[in-house]
Amino acid sequence: MLLAEGLRHRFGAVTALDDVSFRVQPGQTLAVFGPNGAGKTTLLKVLAGLIQPQQGRAQVDGGRRAIGWIGHQPQLYSQLTVRENLRFWASLYDVAVPGDLLSRLGLTEYADRPVRALSRGLVQRVAIARALVHDPAVLLLDEPFTGLDRTAAEAFSGLIAQHAAAGRATVLVTHNVEEGTGLATDVAFMRRGRFVHFAPRGRRGPAQVAEEYRNAIV
Amino acid sequence: MPSSSSLRHAWAVASKDLLVEFRSRTGILSAVVFVVLVLMVFNFGRDPTAVSNLVLAPSILWVTFTFAAILALNRAFQLELENQALDGLLLAPIGRGSIYLGKLVANLVFVATVEVIGVPLVALFFNVEVWPHIGPLAAIITLATLGFVAVGTLFSAMTVRTRFAELLLPVVLLPFMILPLMWATLATTSVLADRPLSEIGGSLKMLAGYDIVFVVVSLLLFPATVNE
């Protein structure tokens, strides 16, 4: 479903990706943890096809149409309403906005409000709706918990879990081990563009993963 | 030749941009206020006995439109950076050409709106007869505007991620505007002076050629300007 093979990419003297390889199958959620500047966002952009890697290849079954992206920036137009934003993004994928999308995300009452008038948590929910508008098979999540309070973060985690349970693949990159571990079926630690750890999460809880992450990164 | 889905996606991008502009009105208001102020300054600052209105009006018209257009072009891709919407556009399964065409159409509508307001103001401030020449004048304005907005849309995409985009855009764009502005000003002068239409044929052909070349070149180069 999603394949990365020998990815290497540099920005001038900075190595963003250094021989990164992995595969994510339907139903799998890979959480990639790393400090700022580890190359996490570059990895997602390469997977999404937004950056052409200097070496290696990234492949997503179904191409760009199969990808949904949720980042710490919502990719929404603040002057437009929630409904107008979703219609616009759906039109680029040649689909109609799914009838139950707004209600699934608890956005029905906010549908005709401009995005600029919504709280950070609601904006992030709209960003999730935007990413799901074309029912993507692969979700790429870039620090999706940024700015969310605990309730909104839990609701968001629930949605991602539903997505995985429906047989979709997810790659999540974050520096927040506690929030990311709960969603993960597989865990990777990234440092200076390299995976220094990549294994199924198994029975490891957030505390154990956080401990291993600290040991691997320091 | 763009496919129907490319055109549909381009229209989606254009109509979204126009809706955002309609909601905020900041760009169009700034441009219109700019046009009015510039025309007022030129009107009250000139010496009518030194230079005739017919000689001065075409130059003022095109200088005003040029800088009003740069205001619009600066906004075209800034809008996409606001919440990193540009990444969303690039991730969508649409051709980069559709994004360019959409932006081009929205910029053309924006600049045309400013021009529709600007032309009567030039007629008013400089006491020149515009209405009897409206057909040829519309042809000149359409062809010249398409050319410099096509180039400007490309350069707007190129400069938007730089630190001083607002300053850089005019610096890189103005040299490319010299030719179409020269042809447009010469043709406008001929039209307003009531000279035979055959006199502007050459300028119109040059403007049309410029449009074809730069729309095609911009479509070809645009993907390289937005890819990281």
| Residues of chain A contacting residue B79, judged by C-beta atoms under 8 Å apart | 77
- DSSP string across chain A: -EEEEEEEEEETTEEEEEEEEEEE-TT-EEEEE--TTSSHHHHHHHHHTSS--SEEEEEETTGGGGEEEE-SS----TTSBHHHHHHHHHHHTT-PPPTTHHHHTT-GGGTTSBGGGS-HHHHHHHHHHHHHTT--SEEEEESTTTT--HHHHHHHHHHHHHHHHTT-EEEEEES-HHHHHTT-SEEEEEETTEEEEEEE-TT--HHHHHHHHHHHH-
pLDDT digits (tens, 9 = 90+) for B54-73: 888 999 999 999 998 998 88
Q: Looking at CA atoms only, how far is residue B3 from chain A in angstroms?
A: 14
Q: Looking at CA atoms only, how far is residue B16 from chain A in angstroms?
A: 7
Answer for the pair A22, A177: CB distance below 8 angstroms, yes or no: no
Compute CA distances A179 → A140, A182, A202, whole Å: 16, 6, 16
Q: Do A77 and B16 touch (CB under 8 A)?
A: yes
Strand, coil or helix: A31? strand
pLDDT (0 to 100) of residue A153: 79
Residues B25 and B22: their CA atoms lie apart, in Å, by 5
B7 CB within 8 Å of a chain A CB: no
Q: Would you call B188 exposed, middle or buried from its count of C-beta atoms within 10 A (0-12, 13-18, 19+)? A: buried
**Would you say the ipTM is above 0.85?**
yes
Q: Looking at CA atoms only, how far is residue B77 from chain A in angstroms?
A: 12
pLDDT digits (tens, 9 = 90+) for B85-142: 999 999 999 999 999 999 999 999 999 999 999 999 999 998 898 999 999 999 999 9
Residues A133 and B166: their CA atoms lie apart, in Å, by 34
Residue A199 CB: number of other CB atoms within 10 A? Answer: 11
Q: Which CATH superfamily, name and number, covers A2-61+137-217?
A: P-loop containing nucleotide triphosphate hydrolases (3.40.50.300)
pLDDT (0 to 100) of residue B227: 78
- Residues with pLDDT less than 70, chain A: 147
What would the mean pLDDT of B186-199 be, rounded to a whole number?
91
A93 CB within 8 Å of a chain B CB: yes
Q: Do A89 and B88 touch (CB under 8 A)?
A: yes
**What amino acid is encoded at B25 in this protein?**
R
Q: Do A93 and B92 touch (CB under 8 A)?
A: yes
Residues 6+ apart with CB under 8 A from B138: none
Answer for the pair A206, A174: CB distance below 8 angstroms, yes or no: no
Answer for the pair A212, A197: CB distance below 8 angstroms, yes or no: yes
B4 CB within 8 Å of a chain A CB: no
| Residues of chain A contacting residue B228, judged by C-beta atoms under 8 Å apart | 45, 50-51
pLDDT digits (tens, 9 = 90+) for A25-71: 999 999 999 998 899 999 999 999 989 999 999 999 998 999 999 98
Tally of domains within chain B = 1
Check residue B175 and give left, alpha or beta (phi > 0: left; psi -120 to 50: alpha): alpha
Number of H helices and number of E strands within chain B? 8, 0
Answer for the pair A70, A127: CB distance below 8 angstroms, yes or no: yes
CB pairs under 8 A between A and B: 68
Burial letters for B62-85: b for 16+ Cβ neighbours within 10 Å, e otherwise? bebbbebbbbbbbbbbebbebbbb
Query: What number of residues does chain A have?
Result: 218
Residues B212 and A141: their CA atoms lie apart, in Å, by 42
Relative orientation angle of helices B53-81 and B4-24, to the nearest 10 degrees = 100
User: Across B56-144, where does the E strand assignment appear?
Assistant: none
The backbone torsions φ and ψ at residue A148, rounded to the nearest 5 degrees and listed phi first, read: -90, 140
Give chain B's radius of gyration (CA, Å). Answer: 18
Query: How do beta strands A186-191 and A29-33 pair?
Result: parallel
pLDDT at B48 over 70: yes
B85 vs A51, A63, A77: nearest CB: A77
pLDDT (0 to 100) of residue B1: 65
Start-end of H helices in A149-193: 150-165, 177-181
Residues A190 and B87: their CA atoms lie apart, in Å, by 23
Answer for the pair A58, A50: CB distance below 8 angstroms, yes or no: no
Q: Which domain holds residue B167?
A: 4-226
How far, rounded to the nearest angstrom, does the alpha carbon of residue B7 sit from its chain's CA centroid?
21
| Residues of chain B contacting residue A112, judged by C-beta atoms under 8 Å apart | none
Residues B64 and A14: their CA atoms lie apart, in Å, by 45
Q: Do B8 and A78 touch (CB under 8 A)?
A: no
A50 CB within 8 Å of a chain B CB: yes
Quickly state the pLDDT bin for B221 (edges 50, 70, 90). very high
**Dmax (CA) of chain A:** 49
| Residues of chain A contacting residue B88, judged by C-beta atoms under 8 Å apart | 69, 75, 89, 130
B87 vs A50, A84, A94: nearest CB: A50
Q: Do A65 and B23 touch (CB under 8 A)?
A: no
* Half-sphere CA count of A136, side-chain side, radius 13 A: 31
Cross-strand partners of A55: A8
A74 CB within 8 Å of a chain B CB: yes
Residues A156 and A161: their CA atoms lie apart, in Å, by 9
A45 CB within 8 Å of a chain B CB: yes
Q: Which residue has the higher pLDDT, B96 or B53?
A: B96
